[in-house]
Structure 1
Amino acid sequence: MTSAQPNFQVPFPCGQTWSGNKASSAHTSWEIDFSRAGAAADLGDTVVAAAAGTVVTSANQGAVNGFGNLIKIDHGGGWTTFYAHLRVLSVRAGTHVSAGQKIGEVGNTTKPGASLAAHLHYEVRTSGAYPANVQKAVFNGVPFGYPKQSVTSKNCGGSSGGGGGSTNPYTPEKICGSGYTVIDSAAVGSVGKAYLLYNKANGKNCVTTVKSTSLGKASAVSAYLEVQGKTRVTDAGNFDYYAGPVAAAGAKKCIKWGGKIGSAVYNSLLEHCG
């Protein structure tokens, strides 16, 4: 009997954004092909475990099913994940892996004599016959937007394990990425903070809402950024550590920003009109 689905995360390092696409002639169910900067640039990028589990397959399966170098992880309760076409296999069968741990690198391995553009083929399966056992992907509690969607990884180490701790290990600078500096912050009740950051190099603001309680446990969190005269950008869902990042060009424009954790809310005035 299949148990509740683990809290799967995007199978790439924290903060990276990848484009997922189901629209392939090779797909028969809810498989996803992930790419980011293009085949040549993606080749060799790190692939991480979507949740904690035990590696049951780490081998070249090209002659069997065209998957090339394949990692298969058993997450317990009847759930497994597949990571195919890898260039490098970084873990062996029998190894226990943590959420966010490197398991391989994006590659283009496939059937002998065949060619393939570099990408990651990702699947979630339960027990039963293929392809009926392939399940819709859910990342950090949010269903993937089939047939295609860009997703930002919150696979930041331990976030799928249901653990926790007294200190949130994720800073707003780490969440928004290189070049962003905090220019404002505000308490969201007593359960976290909303942060506003700015990147001088690209003229963009970034907002993230960071929890200080219930760490490592999925709960309702959101972050938003609204540049004057433009549509509000929001990230909302059941997250373990933070919501966001949401970013938009805001140079020489007034903005509204804020976030919510549970029922606690912070909403700014129209401000930072630099």
Structure 2
Amino acid sequence: MKISGAIVAGVALVTCLGTASAAAADPADPQPETTHQAQLLATNFQLPFPCGQSWTGNSNNSSAHTSYEIDFNRGGSPDADLGDTVVAAAAGTVVISSHQGSTNGFGNLVKIDHGGGWSTYYAHLNARSVSAGQSVSQGQKIGTVGKTSRPGNNISAHLHFEVRQGSNYPANVRKAVFNGVTFGYPNQTLTSRNGCGGSTNPHTAESVCGSGYTVINSAGLGSAGTVYLLYNKSNGYNCVTTIKRSSIGTPTATSAYLEVQGSARKTDSGDFSYYAGPVIAKAAGKCVKWGGKAGSSSHDSPFQHCG
């Protein structure tokens, strides 16, 4: 949440089986959708891949999917990610590390118990790097992307990932939350913050601006943050937000602005803990200036993105 004063297009190419202290929230801040989501946010799950890698998740490309299961791929061809590293989404204890044989379509499966009834599943692995009973830390390698399954089930390489709570399958499969933000079902491309070190900002430009907005430009503000320009093609609005990358959770001077050609500049500026903005204005068919500041760095664009 923002406290004043106080995230490669792709398609899964497969068929498979399957505590922060209390604070007043800005009404525009993204909120957990359900009690389950609030609990899941507290686990601080991260994408199950190394820091900086971008992966496309798809929940509807397989006829075998029954709920919020996700298939992850990167690269433009089948098996492009075969052998890529898979890491633990959160710390926990390995309760399954085995090849499932003909039991189901999971092939090489790792299941991690995170406590409180929460667990994660990593299926079709090419190789497993952990054993049942082993404690793992967030970001620790647990295996590699593969295409193992039951005999005769030929699939392309991918990671089948699930978050579950309880044991009543498939009702126990929950929406995945990565870096504090709910996965954009049915598909979304995300960049991993797993193992990046230091504090991570749970907010992304898309989560701040809201549904329908897509990043069309961005500018780094040193190590202090990044300012983003987004556009919603369904309504013709632009959105600007500055996401902090340092002093996360500590109020520091942060700003974001948007100026539509022919209109007055709109600015959000103050001592914010996570981000400035969103600054939103209708700009279809017009040029915009945009920018922001975090720490000692700032960005000011010329009029651009006219259209």
How far does residue 91 in structure 1 lie from its aligned partner after superposition? Answer: 0.8
What is residue 213 of structure 1 aligned with on the other side? 247
Q: Does 1:132 align with 2:161?
A: no
CA contact (8 A) 1:106 1:119 kept: yes
Q: Does 1:144 align with 2:183?
A: yes
What is residue 33 of structure 1 aligned with on the other side? 71
1:260 & 1:31 partners in 2: Cα distance?
38
CA contact (8 A) 2:110 2:123 kept: yes
How far does residue 93 in structure 1 lie from its aligned partner after superposition? Answer: 1.0
The percent of aligned pairs where both chains have the same amino acid is 59
Q: Deviations over 1:6-53 (max 9, x none)?
A: 111111111111111111111111100111113222110011111111
Q: Deviations over 1:126-172 (max 9, x none)?
A: 0031000000111111111111111111112567xxxx69xx9xxxx
The amino acid of 1:142's aligned partner reads V
RMSD over equivalenced CA pairs, Å: 4.1
1:147 & 1:107 partners in 2: Cα distance?
22
Larger-Rg structure: 2
Superposition map of 1:96-107 within 5 A: 96-107=135-146
Q: Where does structure 2 lack aligned partners over 5 or more consecutive residues?
A: 1-35, 202-218, 229-240, 262-272, 276-286
Q: Deviations over 1:69-93 (max 9, x none)?
A: 0000001111000000000001111
Task: State the number of aligned residues.
Answer: 209
The amino acid of 2:302's aligned partner reads L
How far does residue 125 in structure 1 lie from its aligned partner after superposition? Answer: 0.1
Runs of at least 4 residues off by over 2 Å: 156-159, 184-188, 192-196, 207-215, 221-226, 254-261, 265-272
TM score, norm. by length of structure 2:
0.57
The amino acid of 1:69's aligned partner reads N
C-alpha change, 1:257 and 1:194, in structure 2 (3 Å) is farther
How far does residue 62 in structure 1 lie from its aligned partner after superposition? Answer: 3.0
The amino acid of 1:155's aligned partner reads N
Q: Deviations over 1:207-264 (max 9, x none)?
A: 995533247x9xxx999999x9xxxxxxxxxxx999xxxxxxxxxxx99665677xxx
Q: Does 1:79 align with 2:118?
A: yes
The amino acid of 1:43's aligned partner reads L
C-alpha change, 1:258 and 1:96, in structure 2 (3 Å) is farther
1:223 & 1:128 partners in 2: Cα distance?
45
Q: Where does structure 1 lack aligned partners over 5 or more consecutive residues?
A: 169-183, 197-206, 229-239, 243-253
Q: Which segment drifts farther, 138-147 or 80-89?
A: 138-147
Bigger strand fraction = 1
1:187 & 1:43 partners in 2: Cα distance?
35
